[in-house]
Structure 1
Amino acid sequence: MPRTLTRRRTARDTEAYSPADEPEDEKGYAEEEDETPARGSRRGSSSRRLNTEDADTSSRRSRRSQEDDDEDDNEPAPKVGGKGWGSYEKTKQASSGFPDNFKASNESVIIKFLDEEPFLVFLQHWIERSGKRSFTCLESRCPLCDDAGDKPSQQIAFNVIDFTDPEDPQIKVWQVGPMVADILKNYSKDKKTSPISRDDLYFSVRKETKNKKTNYYITPVKERDLLDDWDIEPLGEEELEEFDAKAYDESILQVARRTELKTLVREILND
């Protein structure tokens, strides 16, 4: 049964998204890998209604509420904070307004897609300079295109759950180029792996760079094989709903004003 996505985080919930500071190196890819490859519906939330028929009921509720507040006051202080790199990553993400970017490495990592298709597609300029180096292309009358002659690259973004730490999976944005996007598009058209965000489907991801050429290995992993082959416990229904509620949409993209880009062009031309 296809799942129903809950509310996505927007620009009202987080600061605008600044594209990855370093572009995903993409000079080639492979669709198969000699790795051991690859179970879910979700329920919606229920609502509670308040009964305020008479003053006696309201009075009883007020007394109960006061008693509950007193009990809360007497409870021990909740445990907060933590130690180790796991706690560092968890609190870093909670305190930052920007989504973390998922980066493939030379070690296989399990991820799970939250989107059937990209939630954001845009063109990006990469300018070699100190400080901020990636800029969203305005497409129409873009100073970086028209005046600086810089050719933008296509960027495709997905919400993914990163299982680098299987005990503490994190939601991240995977920003990829056309080569990886083509692999994912092929999977999305194959009935065995469609949609790629299916509840019982995960993926292993690894990249390998040799002689300045990068190959990506993206392999479907079935939920039933996750525990045996990867020692990872599949996500439950409620956990998946929680991650869906945290997913981002296109409103997080940061776009500079045309005047700012014109100023940047003047700086580039004067260097």
Structure 2
Amino acid sequence: MPRTLTRRRTARATEAYSPAEEPEEEHGYADEEDEAPARGSRRGSRRSLNTEEDDTSSRRSRRSREDDDEDDEPAPKVGGKGWGSYEKTKQATSSFPDNFKATNESVIVHFLDEEPFLVFLQHWIERKGKKSFTCLESKCPLCDDAGDKPSQQVCFNVVDFTDPEDPQIRVWQVGPMVADILKNYAKDKKTSPINRDDLYFSVRKETKNNKTNYYITPVKERDLLDDWDIEPLTEEDLEEFDAKAYDEDILQVTRRSELKGIVREILND
């Protein structure tokens, strides 16, 4: 019986994000927007004012000595060199999630969600500047006035093992083709739920003659080390990644008035 870890999600507060303005097969892009102290017991509560003042003075003195000791410690090593340090500090300083993007090289991922945490419709408008816009669904100017058909976008939190020594949390935003593959795995008893702690997936894509195929293969935890030279995530690792997981708040929606302006721009071209 595969062991199943029950994890409690604490979604972190995030700002909405917008990935790079580059189209990719079966991948969409999220939109941007331009908005009484506790009582002690009776016993020992009778204390003289001088005793309280002495205790307060003593605590202040101890804190002062501790602060001095910390100041005397050698400075911690910070910073670094190379692209690895660049990516690490970039993620630490950015409130925007990084997208996972499949390539022609197989990469191991672990799902943090048993189902999509966000599903939305997105317009892609070929224009100078920003191209991706979240569909308003109801009374959407890009649908009603420009006649543009939006595409479905499906988002999952994954742990990306592109660098096995430094796995990172990413948002994998996919189209219906990949979503259908993942849905089938989610329904299969052998691979359900897809975020089981003993289950990983190998992901690769291949593009030929303008046609893209995705190869998504389950990988058991017991095979990770031997076949992929990757250490499985511990329960502590999983809890830490779960605490960093993104939720639907990452998506921002462009105001209807701005979308109407884009429609006018399209129609005037």
**TM-score, normalised with respect to structure 2:** 0.85
Give me the CA root mean square deviation.
2.2
Residue 68 (str. 1) matches residue 56 (str. 2): no
Map 1:227-266 → 2, pairs under 5 A: 227-266=225-264
Aligned to 1:45: none
Aligned to 1:136: 134
Give how far 1:238 is off: 1.5
Aligned to 1:218: 216
Aligned to 1:178: 176
Aligned to 1:90: 88
Q: Say which is worse superposed, 201-210 or 93-102, in terms of deviation.
A: 93-102
Change (3 A) 1:57 1:184: farther
Report the 3-state secondary structure (helix = DSSP H, G, I; strand = E; otherwise coil) of the residue aligned with 1:86: helix
Q: One-letter code of the match for 1:157?
A: C
Aligned to 1:4: 7
Aligned to 1:157: 155
Name the structure, 1 or 2, with higher relative contact order (CA <8 Å, separation 6+): 1
Give how far 1:18 is off: 2.2
C-alpha distance in 2 between matches for 1:154 and 1:186? 18
Q: Report if aligned partners of 1:160, 1:174 keep a CA contact under 8 Å in 2.
A: yes
Per-residue CA distance 1:41-61 (angstroms, 9 max, x = gap): xxxxxxxxx998775887766
Give how far 1:163 is off: 0.7
Map 1:5-84 → 2, pairs under 5 A: 5-10=8-13, 14-18=14-18, 21-26=21-26, 55=52, 62-84=60-82
Per-residue CA distance 1:39-89 (angstroms, 9 max, x = gap): xxxxxxxxxxx9987758877665554443232222111111111111111
Q: One-letter code of the match for 1:138?
A: L
Q: Say which is worse superposed, 142-151 or 51-60, in terms of deviation.
A: 51-60
Aligned to 1:46: none
Correspondent of 1:196 among 189, 194, 197: 194
Report the 3-state secondary structure (helix = DSSP H, G, I; strand = E; otherwise coil) of the residue aligned with 2:189: coil
C-alpha distance in 2 between matches for 1:131 and 1:89? 25
Q: Report if aligned partners of 2:19, 2:98 keep a CA contact under 8 Å in 1.
A: no
Q: One-letter code of the match for 2:239?
A: E
Q: Report if aligned partners of 1:24, 1:177 keep a CA contact under 8 Å in 2.
A: no
Residue identity over aligned pairs, in percent, reads: 79
The runs of 5 or more residues in structure 2 that have no matched partner are 28-37, 46-51
How many residues get paired?
246
C-alpha distance in 2 between matches for 1:98 and 1:15? 6
C-alpha distance in 2 between matches for 1:121 and 1:15? 17
Map 1:102-121 → 2, pairs under 5 A: 102-121=100-119
Give how far 1:22 is off: 3.1
C-alpha distance in 2 between matches for 1:118 and 1:170? 18
C-alpha distance in 1 between matches for 2:94 and 2:221? 31
